[in-house]
Amino acid sequence: MLAETVSEAACRFGSRPAIVAEEGWALGFDDLDRLADEVASGLFESGVREGDVVAVVLPPVPEHFVTYAAVAKLGALTAAVNPRLAPVEQRAVLELAEPALVVTASTMAAVADGMPTAVVELGTSAATVLRELRVVGAAPPPLAPDPDRPVAVVFTSGTTGTPKGAVFAGRQLEFITRTDVGTQWGGGGPALAGSALAHLGPMTKFPGNLRRGSTQHLTTAWRAPDALRRIAELGTPVVGGVPTQLALMLRDPGFDRYDLSRLRAIVIGGGPATPSLVREARRRFNVPLAVRFSCTEAGIGTGTSLEDPDEDAEVSVGRPQPGVSLRIVDPTGADLPSGEIGEVVLSSPAVMDGYWRDPEATAAAFAARGGVRTGDLGWVDHRGRLRLAGRAAERFVRGGNNVHPIEVEAVLADHPGVATVAVVGRSDPVMGEVGVAVVVPRPGAPVPTLESLRSFAESRLARYKLPDRLQVVERLPLTAMDKVDRKALQQLVDPEPDGPGAPED
């Protein structure tokens, strides 16, 4: 599906810019198709075949999308690795993927040591993109359409903190595209892409962007003032992102200097948004706002529309998207009635095929009566809206990124000043949630500081996983089973969270 869409978009839109690097140089739709053919030919000559995995370890650059399209033209799978992960985390993802080839930049190649690797220099124009891999003027062998052929492996930490790769085939991408943009071609405009191209959105919505003829302007490192400036300069009609990015833009001291008159809507997802943030965004951007909710495994989930009452986006994450089924289940998997809190289960043609080479985790990800378990707790209110109440596991979402306490605790526990440690999330007006390290100091050692904990862990954890706050206690609260009482810890660090509240009577 992706390969055919790339070629059709080239026929329809020609030299219109499809992808623009942060430095300003662009690839046309025709460039994208041609370069993907040439790269696919080079990958084929290097031994990549249908069903193989090609891992991509690159910053947010046009080469990411060219490689993705090229791999699809061979019937192989792209496994994109988030460059924001610490090197040891990137290595863990690569080892799980078991790629036939790793495509990476020279500055990032160390993480693929010992693996089959193609090291490329990042381009400065269409002519220089992936020239190390291309066979100029060539095209790959013809590939018969197959909607069940896997296309992408999108990595998620799941509910245990260990990396898992959600597999998506052409039929999932087709459904997501049809849901997002329908069956029409064209109508797209300039769009400011985020800086994490390995995430679910960029990997599964790429065909939809091509179908609309949108021009994706890439961002290597997202910063609020840069985003505001580019939104104003490009005249982007829609701004998408996580609530944290929205909060940071609203708090930029120069916000009122930017001409945002061409903006028509805001769409946010990937983390909790407080009612106050939604209201402030509507007021200051002066446009309608919609929220989205899903998880990597589900592909697509619920949302509000721009025409819904303002309250919907403030207190809920909306209703199921067309073709999506929503259930709330108890720990046994039985359905719960409206108003009762349970785990959110989503079903649709967009749901992943399973986890890459992990049948046990795949079985655990699906509910007994079908649908993927999101790991989030919520309830359906009397208006049919999904309202979230927390997470089934202890994970929290910092700036749109899942953080699993057990993973962070395992690293911080090695600090020489730490006797025991627990990590919990607390609400934050900018990041949505931040991590709090609750530490019992080691007797006879200096009491750890937040700076020392972050410095100690930064080589082993992505920056977004590092604790933002520190609370020193004499002992951790325990349950009757002598386990850490997470609920008591939550009350200790976040006694009055700014959330959607409790179910209505």
Tens digit of pLDDT for each residue in 74-118? 999 999 999 988 899 899 999 999 999 999 999 999 999 999 999
Say what the pLDDT of residue 6 is: 98
2's enclosing H/E stretch is helix 2-13
Q: Is residue 438 classed exposed, middle or buried when 0-12, 13-18 and 19+ CB atoms within 10 A define those classes?
A: buried
Q: Kindly give the pairing relationship between strand 101-105 and strand 53-57.
A: parallel
Say what the pLDDT of residue 483 is: 64
Say what the pLDDT of residue 500 is: 40
Each residue's pLDDT expressed in tens, for the chain with a length of 505 residues: 999 999 999 999 999 999 999 999 999 999 999 999 999 999 999 999 999 999 999 999 999 999 999 999 999 999 999 998 889 989 999 999 999 999 999 999 999 999 999 999 999 999 999 999 999 999 999 999 999 999 999 998 543 457 899 999 999 999 999 999 999 999 999 999 977 899 999 999 999 999 999 999 999 988 999 999 999 999 999 999 888 888 889 989 999 999 999 999 999 988 777 888 899 999 999 999 999 999 999 999 999 999 999 999 999 999 999 999 999 999 889 999 999 989 999 999 999 999 999 999 999 999 988 899 998 889 999 999 999 876 766 778 899 998 878 789 889 988 999 988 989 999 999 999 999 999 999 889 999 999 999 999 999 999 999 999 999 999 888 754 446 788 888 889 987 654 443 344 3
Say what the pLDDT of residue 226 is: 96
d(CA 273, CA 316): 9
Tokens of 183: 């069956």
The one-character DSSP state at 140 is P
Tokens of 274: 């407080």
276's enclosing H/E stretch is helix 275-285
Q: Provide the whole-model pTM.
A: 0.85
Q: Is residue 286 classed exposed, middle or buried when 0-12, 13-18 and 19+ CB atoms within 10 A define those classes?
A: exposed
3-state secondary structure of 292: strand
d(CA 214, CA 28): 11
- pLDDT mean across residues, the chain: 92
d(CA 238, CA 193): 11
- Please check whether residue 318 is in contact with residue 312, taking contact to mean a CB–CB distance below 8 angstroms: yes
d(CA 396, CA 246): 18
Give the other-Cβ count within 10 Å of 148's Cβ.
9
Percent of the chain at pLDDT > 70 equals 95
d(CA 3, CA 373): 30
- Please check whether residue 242 is in contact with residue 432, taking contact to mean a CB–CB distance below 8 angstroms: yes
Give the other-Cβ count within 10 Å of 177's Cβ.
24
d(CA 191, CA 189): 6
- Please name each of the domains of the chain with its CATH number: 1-11+27-182+195-212 (3.40.50.12780), 396-493 (3.30.300.30)
Say what the pLDDT of residue 79 is: 98
Q: Kindly give the pairing relationship between strand 101-105 and strand 117-120.
A: parallel
Beta strands in 114-233 (DSSP E): 117-120, 150-156, 164-169, 190-192, 215-217
Say what the pLDDT of residue 503 is: 42
Say what the pLDDT of residue 63 is: 98
**C-alpha 29: how far from its chain's center?**
25
Say what the pLDDT of residue 499 is: 44
Segment 36-85, tens digit of pLDDT: 999 999 999 999 999 999 999 999 999 999 999 999 999 999 999 999 88
Say what the pLDDT of residue 486 is: 80
- Helix, strand, coil shares of the chain, percent, nearest 5, are 30, 25, 45
**C-alpha 4: how far from its chain's center?**
25
**For residue 90, which phi and psi values (nearest 5 degrees)?**
-60, -40
**For residue 185, which phi and psi values (nearest 5 degrees)?**
-105, 145
**For residue 374, which phi and psi values (nearest 5 degrees)?**
-80, -20
**For residue 216, which phi and psi values (nearest 5 degrees)?**
-90, 115
Say what the pLDDT of residue 463 is: 95
How many Å is the Cα radius of gyration of the chain? 23
Tokens of 144: 């018969």
3-state secondary structure of 379: strand
